[in-house]
Structure 1
Amino acid sequence: MRNFFVGIVKVFGVFSLLLIPFSCGSSKTGMEETKSLQFDNPLAEQRADPFVTKTEDGNYYFIATVPEYDRIEIRKSKTINGIKEAEPVIIWRKHDKGVMGNHIWAPELHRIDGKWYVYFAAGSAEEKWKIRMYALSNPSADPTKGEWKEEGQVVSNRDDFSLDATTFELDDQRYMIWTDRASDTIMNTGLYIAEMTSPTTLADNQVVISQPTHDWENQGHRVNEAPAVLVRHGKVFVTFSASATDANYSIGLMWADTDADLLDPTSWHKLPEPVFYSNPALKRFGPGHNSFTKAEDGETDIMIYHARNYKEIDGEPLYDPNRHTRARVLKWKEGMPFFGQELSDKEMSMKNLK
């Protein structure tokens, strides 16, 4: 039972303590109330690394990793639950040879300066583990229509096993956070941040802001990956996933103040324990690689994530196809996100938690 986190650790070195009581309660104890929302989970079977964005006209667009790792597709719906029955539109397929020819992973869909961009990871046809970040663009107002253009590689300074790119804007500056391999022995992969000089170009100053230093981040693999950003209450919150992609996979939380220097690693604070992880009683195993969107009311924060409903996996977890997309309400308590580790998706959708 890890319902309470009694510590905050600076990402590098300096410790400070803060009690964050992530217990259930009503708005009288600081819990923000949400309207009753029920989701028809799983929203999408055999879809991992899910990303959902809501546009100003009320449409939802869903994009995720397909188990064949060979294509990128988008679903369009007027509701979150409608994603389940929405028809996938294939917008791009992997190359037969060379780069972008294998392991098509973790696409994200972003609207930037009047264009749609898809950021995704891919290996080469001949070297499937030579994973790099790539981008597609489309000027159409509807990303399920129009023509998608390959923009090439989004190059990091390390240029070594880079993936899971996400982007956000703060005070008229666009940033990217992504996963990259380290050359030292501290980690397999960590989280990096940089300003962007264009939708497909990173500035030279690229810094690591999280490393897998805790035991829960080092189960099977020493990994920090899959960042997702939510700007609320004067903070830039970043969730991330850690460990191997089996039942050890878990979600962690870090943040910086919105007026801090996001390129200064000491601006970032990181909880020493995961906020969302396997719960056998709820048949939720290996939850992770989440994204955030808004409910139809335009107010309630929703977390979209993947998980399996069983623990035991034969062989390499990456080739087990049954990571299913799910949705749940994200609540807030005293300015901090409440993930409801011991609660089901249905229980999190209740207006008041008793």
Structure 2
Amino acid sequence: MKRKLLLAALFISAAMFAQKKTFNNPLLPAGADPYSTYHNGYYYYTHTLGNKLMLWKTKNLADLKNAESKLVWTPPAGTAWSKEIWAPEFHFINNKWYAYFAADDGENKNHRMYVLENASADPFKGTWELKGKIATDIDRWAIDGDVFTYKNQLYMIWAGWEGNVNVQQNIYIAKMSNPWTIEGGRVMISEPTYNWERQGDLNDPSNPPHVSVNEGPQFLQHGDDAFIVFSSSGCWTDFYNLGLLRLKGTDVMNPQSWVKNPEPVFTKSEKNGVYAPGHNSFFKSADGKEDWILFHANDNPGEGCGNKRSPRMQKIKWNADGTPNFGIPVSNKEILQIPSE
């Protein structure tokens, strides 16, 4: 009897251990625009909440449901950055933490990028202080900022308008002189040109009106190859998807250096019950050997840009030509191995 009980206990322990090594999407019931940063053995995760900035801390993103969380910043009322706080990102740069986000005063036309700074090595500690607005001299509408370093130079990429009216959303890039200041002007490196970037009518996919959207740009580097992955079409439609820019050459500030893939690289899967996959970010496994994509999507058609979008992740493969292969969005029923440790 004792032997049977011991074997049963070992079986249960083994099963629990195995469960920790696998997961199913989604990672949380809701959470749009997911982003994570790996630092000192922990993943620091965040997503859009609209009225505040939250951080989750975990050693395993697949176990995000049980992660420690902390409210790190609530905007003061009555400012230009009090409302509609979108797509936050947390970066550790020059031994300080920076939180980048888009915000406005309640009117979308006033959306701009802002940044907070925290001198503590632990983002759950210290004080988050507003460094200010990040903008070029012309100061146009801006959302979805992503900051990256390439060849020892800091850059920001974001989605913006050419003028003061929403005609279309483009992807812009600018150099940064420090983590809170843009140096010089902006350069447009992508605008919606293909039909898959201009889908806007869920009810009539055969004849959609043009909704020209490039947004949510994310920098991705693999060896010597550099890419920008972006979201396109209306987020309120099932056609929301991911496009790819590849750097040809070394001058990231030259629009001609960025070559757009003629087809989207990540789209809905009706078979797997995943709709409107987009606004992604990237992370590496803890051992640095695997590349993963983190994105949001809906479980059903027609769920749009609301709070039914949930964060998901899956492993990236690499094609022979050096480009990333995201595959198709996996079903919520599919059992996946957690990132390698």
User: Which TM-score band applies after superposition, normalised by the shorter structure?
Assistant: 0.7 to 0.9
Q: 1:103-149: CA deviations, max 9, x gaps? A: 11000011111100010000114x34411000001011111211100
> Which residue of structure 2 lines up, in the alignment, with residue 22 of structure 1?
none
The CA distance in 1 between the partners of 2:153 and 2:85, in whole Å, is 29
Which residue does the alignment assign to 1:13? none
Counterpart position of 2:231: 241
Runs of 4+ in 1 over 6 A off after TM superposition: 345-348
Name the counterpart of 1:322.
Answer: 308
1:53-102 CA distance string (max 9 Å, x none): 111x2110001102xx1111000001112322113211111332121111
Query: RCO higher in 1 or 2 (8 Å CA, sep ≥ 6)?
Result: 1
1:224-239 paired onto structure 2 within 5 Å: 224-239=214-229
Q: Distance in 1 between matches of 2:68 and 2:265?
A: 33
1:254 corresponds to: 245
Q: For residues 132-186 of structure 1, give each alpha carbon's deviation from its aligned partner in whole angstroms, at most 9, with x where no partner exists.
A: 0000010111112111001110013442220111011112111111111123999
Contact 1:188 1:223 in 2 (8 A): yes
The answer to whether 1:53 aligns with 2:37 is yes
Partner of 2:112: 132
Aligned mates of 1:129, 1:92 — CA distance in 2: 23
What's the Cα RMSD here? Answer: 2.2
2-structure distance, mates of 1:184, 1:152: 21
Tell me the SS of whatever aligns to 1:281: coil
Distance 1:167 1:346, change over 3 A: farther
Structure 2 gaps of 5+ residues are 1-20, 201-210
Contact 1:329 1:345 in 2 (8 A): no
What is the rounded CA distance, in whole Å, between the counterparts of 1:40 and 1:297 in structure 2?
Answer: 21
- The structure with the largest alpha-carbon Rg is 2
Structure 2 partner of 1:281: 271
> Is this contact kept in 1: 2:243–2:261, CA < 8 A?
yes
The one-character-per-residue Cα deviations of 1:14-44 (angstroms, maximum 9, x if unpaired) are: xxxxxxxxxxxxxxxxxxxxxxx74332112
Q: Distance in 2 between matches of 1:158 and 1:273?
A: 32
Asked whether the equivalents of residues 94 and 104 of structure 1 are also in contact (C-alpha less than 8 Å), the reply is no
**Structure 1: gaps spanning 5 or more residues:** 1-36
Q: Any idea what SS the aligned residue of 2:256 has?
A: helix
Of 154-163 and 240-249, deviating more is 154-163
**2:145/2:158 contact within 8 Å kept:** yes
Q: Specify the code of the residue in structure 1 equivalent to 2:149.
A: E
Indicate if the aligned counterparts of 1:123 and 1:131 stay in contact, CA closer than 8 A: yes
- Counterpart for residue 302 of structure 1: 292
The Cα offsets for residues 212-269 of structure 1, whole Å up to 9 and x where unpaired, read as: 0111111122110101111113121110001111312100111104x51111110111
Q: Which amino acid letter does the alignment assign opposite residue 217 of structure 2? A: P
Tell me, yes or no, if the aligned pair for 1:230 and 1:292 is still in contact at 8 Å: yes
| Distance (Å, rounded) in 1 between the aligned partners of 2:165 and 2:125 | 45
One-letter code aligned to 1:191: I
- Counterpart of 1:337 (choices 301, 315, 324) is 324
For 2:64 and 2:101, the matched residues in 1 are separated by 21
* One-letter amino acid of the structure 2 residue matched with residue 227 of structure 1: P
Is contact 2:242–2:267 with CA below 8 Å preserved after alignment? yes
2:76 maps to 1:92: no
Cα distance between partner residues in 2 of 1:260 and 1:65: 33
CA distance in 1, matches of 2:34, 2:87: 7
Q: Identity of aligned pairs, percent?
A: 37
